Amino acid sequence: MTPRPFAVHHSARALELLAAAIQAATAAGRRADAIRAARVIERGLLWYADGFGESRRPLRVLGELRCATILPLTV
């Protein structure tokens, strides 16, 4: 059986925050770093969503709250 990626659904607010983060990185001269980080984060969420990043605490309903930093972005 071949691996199947997770389905990743971004909220409108998450997309707004990503655009703002990339704008800020662009202003700081780090646009390429931000785009590269966004791609790494997306790949991590797609292929390792339940283990990507660092565990912060279990959630009551499902899974756990996780945090990942791929500079200059954090999710």
49-72, pLDDT tens digit by residue? 889 999 999 998 888 999 999 999
Residue found under tokens 């770093």:
33
Residue with the bigger pLDDT between 47 and 63: it is 47
- Would you state the pLDDT for residue 62? 81
* Long-range contact pairs involving 13-17 (C-beta distance under 8 Å, separation at least 24): none
5-43, pLDDT tens digit by residue? 999 999 999 999 999 999 999 999 999 999 999 999 999
- Would you state the pLDDT for residue 11? 96
Residue with the bigger pLDDT between 5 and 1: it is 5
